[in-house]
Amino acid sequence: MSGLIWAVWHYPGILGAGYEAGTPKGYEVLCFTAMVVAMSFVLGWLRLKSQSLWPCAVLHASHNLFIQAIFDGMTATTGKAVYVTTEVGIGMVMTIGLLAVWFWLKRGEVNTAPLAA
């Protein structure tokens, strides 16, 4: 659920405020949603394992920095490459999807007991 909420929160940016990757908007929304839902498994595991939000905040900020400011500038933006690269490409979905499966398999390592007040 948190991944879907997080994805919907970003839809205005994807649909009209600068996330343009050069692919159809429907493709961008679908890939971004899948990537964010997958990322929610990674962030959820980090949150529960560390008992802190900080690792999640640092991962989110690092993701934005490396994808948007570094990797996008290093990749070709012509032809079919944009369907694989960028934050809204299938490459990101596959990469983070594999990480999500790995963290889901490690879910037994986290303490899900509520934090003491």
Q: What is the pLDDT of residues 22-61, one digit of tens each?
A: 788 899 899 999 999 999 999 999 999 998 999 999 999 9
* Model pLDDT, residue 116: 57
Domain limits for position 77: 2-8+23-107
Phi, psi of 114 (to 5 degrees): -60, 150
Domain presence at residue 17: no
Residue 72 lies in a domain: yes
Task: Please check the confidence at residue 117 and state whether its pLDDT lies above 60.
Answer: no
| Cβ-Cβ contacts under 8 Å for 86 (sequence gap 6 or more) | 21, 67, 72, 75, 92
For residues 31 and 58, what is the distance between their CA atoms, to the nearest angstrom?
A: 23
**Residue 115 within any structural domain of the chain:** no
For 27, other C-beta atoms within 10 Å of its C-beta total 15
Q: Check residues 75 and 35 and name the one with the higher pLDDT.
A: 35
Q: How many domains does the chain have?
A: 1
- Give the closest residue to 64 by CA, choosing from 103, 10, 27: 10
Phi, psi of 85 (to 5 degrees): -85, -170
| 114, pLDDT greater than 70 | no
Where do the H-state alpha helices sit in the chain? 2-16, 25-50, 54-64, 72-74, 90-105
CB 84, CB 75: distance < 8 Å: no
- The answer to whether residue 63 sits within a structural domain is yes
Instruction: Kindly state whether residue 102 falls inside one of the protein's structural domains.
Output: yes
Asked whether residue 74 is domain-assigned, the answer is yes
pLDDT of residue 115: 60
Q: Give which of 48, 45, 59, 21 is closest to 104, Cα–Cα.
A: 45
In-domain check, residue 116? no
pLDDT band with cut points at 50, 70 and 90 for residue 67? confident
State the pLDDT confidence band at 17, using cuts at 50, 70 and 90: confident
